[in-house]
Amino acid sequence: MTGTKVNKSVADINDRIRRGDAVVVTAEEMVEIVRNKGEVGAAKEVDVVTTGTFGAMCSSGAWLNFGHSDPPIKIQRAWLNDVEAYTGVAAVDAYIGATKLSETRGFDYGGAHVIEDLVRGKEIEVRAIAYGTDCYPRKELKTILTKDDINQAVLCNPRNAYQRYDAATNSRDETIYTYMGTLLPNYGNVTYSGSGSLSPLHNDPNYETIGIGTRIFLGGAQGYIFWEGTQHAPAKAMGTIMTIGNLKEMDARYIRGATIEKYGTTLYVGLGIPIPVINERVAKTTGVSDEEIKTDLTDYGVPRRDRPILREVTYAELKSGKVEIRGKEVPVSPLSSLKQAREIANTLKHWIEDKRFFLSQPVEGLSTDQVFKPLKQVTAVPFVRDIMTREVVTAKPSDPIASTAKIFADRGFDHLPIVDARGRLVGIVTSWDIAVAVGTGKKKLSEVLTSKVITALENEPVDAVARRLEKHKISGVPVVNSCGELRGILTSQDLSKLLGRRGR
């Protein structure tokens, strides 16, 4: 790189570390230094900026090699504490993924917890089955292992350390449970992840120093970046990295199995990257502050790939604990631990100062223009408008019970939407409501209708509505447009017809 006033190599910086005169600061400390001394001044003064993050990283897992039994087995399927591991690689290798759930304990225990238990040196029950071959005759195996009993235990994570992440909120009038945590109704709270100014990748967003072969802090041990992470999207400030490190050397303080309520299990991973300040460009990016890091406040109430964005928020706002939505102050939950992120940046700083950690020169750079493509789908996703019944019999709130009961009997349906004079949905009456109304001598529909109606929109995917029916234990929903006007009805019968079509 040319055109810079300060030029240091990674080798120069390692020499200083060896001599004990390298200046190492955390990314939070660097914000002030760049503010006070400018980029060039900061680049001259500081040699290394340490970063850190401690967050839920679902895309994590570990490669394990069990060694061979006698007689040997070519494992076809294997379970570790009842969590299935992937074993389609040779005979006794397995990959235990963080989000795989226990077959006996559900959301309370998953692959992430197996990984934490391995790090803690706990005993793990291994069960395996096989079809048996001439060279691997054994068909079943049951044993108990710790990390010391197995050959390799390697944490190997396809996607870690998102540069930043969307902040989440919920427009629906019900609480939803997402991978971004519990989201209260009607924008009742906001959750976010990432450590902002301490974010490893946000401190070198141009990948000038971070690349393949970069030595990092991973789970309390020294690990490496070995590729760009899956879904790496640096152009959108959503870069990610693939990381690898020896699980046997890790510390359970920085590798924690966790459960996100009604969502599943995940692994909290502690990760820190040292950024060598090779020039003033890098000094500038490591000086990034929470005020400068923006992310999208996104509505997770809409279960689509492209969720609506409410507005931009800064990490400074998010970290303040309150965010304004539509003129209202809303409480914020971080999902990653800023305290542990700081601790990691400080630990990495001390390792370097104590000459226990040296920086590595990447052997290859990471892509800076990669984009994250959506899934190519060969079958069209059906929308509500594609399968709903459009000809709907409706009634008015003032209609008498007696004549309505006759409609139910003649037409053989279960749901009668009630609309006002302008065609707007004001309630629903079911065949059960009519039975009760007749039995109790009610006169008008307005006396028995349910006015809080669960509805669907025409442009919603059918899957989202199917989940709604299941959740509320109902068999049909009126379909309305954005003005609340009735457009049709979608029932579980319509959904079963669709399943029949899918089967063919």
Partner 1 sequence: MTRKVLLRYSTQKATEPILASVIKETDVLPNILYAEVSTKGGEILLAIDAPDKEVDKAIELFKQEGIEAQEIKRAIQLDRDLCFDCGACLSLCPIGALYITDDKSVELDDNKCIYCGLCVPSCPVRALKLSKFW
Residues marked active site are found at 135
Stretch that binds partner 1, among 69-77, 78-86, 255-263, 460-468 (CB under 8 A): 255-263
Stretch that binds partner 1, among 62-70, 179-187, 307-315, 474-482 (CB under 8 A): 179-187
- Strand-pairing partners, residue 157, are 243
Q: Is 240 in the site for partner 1 (CB under 8 A)?
A: no
- According to DSSP, the β-strands at 211-212 and 364-365 are antiparallel
| Helices vs strands, H then E, count in the chain | 11, 33
Q: Is 333 in the site for partner 1 (CB under 8 A)?
A: yes
Q: Is 335 in the site for partner 1 (CB under 8 A)?
A: yes
Total residue count of the chain as it appears in this document? 504
Q: Is 331 in the site for partner 1 (CB under 8 A)?
A: yes
Nearer to partner 1, 101 or 330 (CB): 330
At 66, give phi and psi (nearest 5°).
Answer: -80, -20
For residue 78 the two structure tokens come to 């294997």
Output the smallest distance, CB 333 to partner 1, in A.
4
Among 26, 285, 336, 455, binds partner 1 (CB under 8 A): 336
Scan residues 190-219 and list those touching partner 1 (CB under 8 A): 190-191
Nearer to partner 1, 191 or 360 (CB): 191
Nearer to partner 1, 252 or 474 (CB): 252
Burial of 113: CB neighbours in 10 Å, binned 0-12, 13-18, 19+: buried
Mapping DSSP to helix (H, G, I), strand (E, B) and coil, where does residue 332 land?
strand
For residue 89 the two structure tokens come to 């690689």
Burial of 445: CB neighbours in 10 Å, binned 0-12, 13-18, 19+: buried
Nearer to partner 1, 28 or 204 (CB): 28
Scan residues 32-61 and list those touching partner 1 (CB under 8 A): 54-56
Output the smallest distance, CB 184 to partner 1, in A.
7
Mapping DSSP to helix (H, G, I), strand (E, B) and coil, where does residue 79 land?
strand
Q: Would you tell me how many other CB atoms lie within 10 Å of the CB of residue 57?
A: 26
Q: Is 339 in the site for partner 1 (CB under 8 A)?
A: yes
Output the smallest distance, CB 295 to partner 1, in A.
17
Mapping DSSP to helix (H, G, I), strand (E, B) and coil, where does residue 275 land?
strand
Q: With the C-alpha atoms ordered 243, 246, 247, 253, is the resulting torsion angle positive or negative?
A: negative
Give the CA-trace dihedral at 62, 67, 73, 77, to 10 degrees: -10
Give the per-residue contact string, 404-443, with partner 1 (x = CB under 8 A; - = no).
Answer: ----------------------------------------
Binding site for partner 1 (CB under 8 A): 54-56, 181-182, 184, 188-191, 256-261, 266, 268, 321, 330-340, 342
